[in-house]
């Protein structure tokens, strides 16, 4: 296995249209990225796998799509206005800004090299403020949401009264979040605009202790079994007393071995009744739940699963990336995506363009579209076309050749093993579906 570096991932992402720097022709914007044709497909596939896992395959979880812009009091209640800060220092010489906890304040400035020039640390709020309406005054200040979770808390009562859900139940949501991050290196790992996949599990106080390990197990299984991540690239990190939010009972991060080392991928948090209680206090509205069977009234406790979708994309790319020595001096770059998240599932390739092969292949590609994300490629030598598909992680290539014209069979090539088998066209869809179901990560 070749060493996976961030430079290699960034270069492949740009070369093959997964991810671009935002506003690149203007010099780029720090902390913002555009997902190209393959990147958006990969991201959507991971999002859909998460949505299916949480909503379709679990009992009692419903979806929500809350707005990004919310009443400013939401963020006072949640504690983000007063506490969602990083300590920052500025270099007095070059004006560069750093997180005080990430640099050595006695060392020279990493940008201009001057010594002893840092300001005292100041707290800097990570929320992006903007204005709503025509007046630009303090009363019109609102924030881009820094997490999707608060939309779920604020709509808790609406969901209970409209969906007939009963505690314990969950509300799941995927969407954009924004944080004015100063340290935005490491590509899409930490960006100012990103996407989260969050689920709040509302349960009876006391039962949270049983749900917390349940959700931890579910979430780890998701990465190994559904996204196909190497289990040895995943581990747990329990928050110590100085990492734990003051209201949290417990918190574990799922960490992934990114190219720059072990880092957080998802948090599973036991958040008690803190958020709902805060919203009850700040809004003056009743946030209690009335148990229809026992008539007990209480504010539910919450176990939260909070994953970064864009960070999941970086994980999927890093875990899948490989450079394999095929023969002496011949290295193939390959992304071993699980077939269920690969941006293209099946590429259809005519061996040559002439003698009706291209027309046959093109027709077949159209027929496969109903079942798979497909791609048609007729240009260049067949070996090069296979390599192009390997590099974007396409798990199956179907080649139409002269035999196809006589007996309606095609060559099915598997990305990981490069094995080729002959399959009747009539059995192609079923064969690919079975291979996807039985897929084992190399
Ligand atoms: N509601 C809880 C919450 O937002 P968090 O640990 O701050 O918790 C959850 O964020 C997840 O969101 C992280 O594990 C990470 O995957 C993702 N995330 C957070 N900040 C991010 C950023 N600036 N860029 C990309 N992903 C980020």
**In a domain? residue 216:** yes
Together in a domain, 349 and 305 = no
For residue 313, what are the contacts with CB-CB under 8 A and spacing of at least 6?
19, 35, 39, 42, 43, 46, 188
Together in a domain, 289 and 428 = no
For residue 110, what are the contacts with CB-CB under 8 A and spacing of at least 6?
96, 98, 103
- 3-class DSSP state for residue 399? strand
Query: Ligand 1: distance of its center to the CA of 121 in Å?
Result: 23
Together in a domain, 364 and 309 = no
CATH of the domain at 160: 3.30.930.10
Q: Give pLDDT, residue 133.
A: 87
pTM (2 d.p.):
0.96
Q: Exposed e or buried b for every residue in 148-157, given b needs 16+ CB within 10 A?
A: bbbbbbbebb
**In a domain? residue 265:** yes
Length of the chain: 442
**In a domain? residue 103:** no
**In a domain? residue 424:** yes
Together in a domain, 306 and 372 = no
Domain total for the chain? 2
**In a domain? residue 98:** no
- CA of 308, closest atom in ligand 1: 16
List the pLDDT tens digit at each of the 442 positions of the chain. Answer: 679 999 999 999 999 999 999 999 999 999 999 999 999 999 999 999 999 999 999 999 999 999 999 999 999 999 999 999 988 999 999 988 888 888 898 899 988 998 878 999 999 999 999 999 887 777 789 999 999 999 999 999 999 999 989 999 999 999 999 999 987 689 999 999 999 999 999 999 999 999 999 999 999 999 999 999 999 999 999 999 999 988 899 999 999 999 999 999 999 999 999 999 999 999 999 999 999 999 999 999 999 999 999 999 999 999 999 999 998 989 999 999 999 999 999 999 999 999 999 999 999 999 999 999 999 999 999 999 999 999 999 999 999 999 999 999 999 999 999 999 999 999 999 999 999 999 998 8
DSSP strand pairing (346-350 vs 374-376): parallel
Q: Give pLDDT, residue 267.
A: 98
Together in a domain, 294 and 351 = no
**In a domain? residue 100:** no
Together in a domain, 384 and 283 = no
Number of H helices, E strands in the chain: 13, 23
Together in a domain, 246 and 373 = no
**In a domain? residue 136:** no
Ligand 1-lining residues (CB < 6 angstroms): 147, 149, 179, 181, 190-191, 194, 196, 198, 264-267, 304, 306-308, 310-311
**In a domain? residue 138:** no
Together in a domain, 183 and 291 = yes
Residue-range definition of the domain harbouring residue 10: 6-72+144-317
Per DSSP, helices labelled H in 20-155 are: 37-51, 72-77, 80-83, 149-154
Together in a domain, 310 and 348 = no
Whether residue 148 contacts residue 198, with contact meaning beta carbons closer than 8 Å, is answered with yes
Together in a domain, 297 and 357 = no
Please choose, from the candidates 223, 202, 300, 325, the residue with its C-alpha nearest in 3D space to the C-alpha of residue 266. 223
């Amino acid at each position: 296995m070749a060493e996976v570096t961030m430079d290699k991932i960034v270069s492949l992402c740009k070369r093959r249209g997964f991810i671009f720097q935002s506003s690149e022709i203007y010099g780029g914007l720090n902390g913002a990225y555009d997902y190209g044709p393959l990147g958006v497909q990969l991201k959507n596939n991971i999002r859909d796998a998460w949505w299916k896992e949480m909503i379709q395959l679990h009992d009692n979880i419903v979806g929500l799509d809350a707005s990004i812009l919310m009443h400013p009091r939401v963020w006072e209640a949640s504690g983000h206005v007063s506490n969602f800060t990083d300590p920052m220092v500025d270099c007095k010489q070059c004006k560069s800004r750093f997180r005080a906890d990430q640099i050595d304040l006695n060392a020279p400035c990493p940008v201009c090299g001057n010594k002893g020039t840092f300001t005292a640390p100041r707290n800097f709020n990570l929320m992006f403020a903007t204005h709503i309406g025509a007046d630009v005054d303090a009363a019109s200040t609102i924030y881009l949401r820094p997490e999707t979770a608060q939309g779920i808390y604020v709509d808790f009562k609406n969901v209970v009264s409209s969906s007939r859900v009963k505690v314990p139940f969950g509300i799941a949501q995927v969407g954009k979040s924004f944080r004015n991050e100063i340290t935005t290196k490491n590509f899409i790992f930490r960006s100012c605009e990103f996407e989260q996949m969050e689920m709040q599990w509302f349960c009876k106080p006391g039962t949270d202790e049983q749900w917390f390990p349940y959700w931890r197990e579910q979430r780890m299984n998701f990465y190994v079994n559904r996204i196909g991540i190497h289990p040895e690239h995943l581990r747990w990190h329990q928050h110590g007393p100085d990492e734990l939010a003051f209201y949290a009972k417990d918190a574990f991060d799922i960490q992934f071995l990114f190219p720059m080392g072990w880092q957080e991928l998802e948090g599973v948090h036991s958040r008690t009744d803190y958020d709902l209680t805060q919203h009850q206090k700040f809004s003056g509205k009743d946030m209690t739940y009335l148990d229809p069977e026992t008539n007990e009234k209480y504010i539910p406790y919450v176990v939260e699963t909070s994953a970064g979708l864009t960070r999941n994309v970086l994980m999927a790319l890093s875990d899948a990336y490989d450079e394999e020595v095929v023969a002496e001096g011949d290295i193939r770059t390959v992304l071993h995506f699980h077939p269920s998240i690969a941006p293209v599932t099946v590429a259809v390739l005519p061996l040559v363009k002439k003698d009706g092969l291209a027309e046959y292949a093109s027709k077949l590609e159209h027929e496969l579209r109903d079942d798979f994300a497909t791609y048609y490629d007729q240009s260049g030598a067949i070996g090069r076309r296979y390599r192009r598909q390997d590099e974007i992680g396409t798990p199956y290539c179907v080649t139409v050749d002269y035999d196809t014209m006589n007996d309606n069979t095609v060559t099915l090539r598997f990305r990981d093993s490069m094995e080729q088998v002959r399959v009747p066209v009539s059995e192609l869809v079923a064969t690919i579906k079975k291979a996807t179901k039985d897929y084992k990560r190399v």
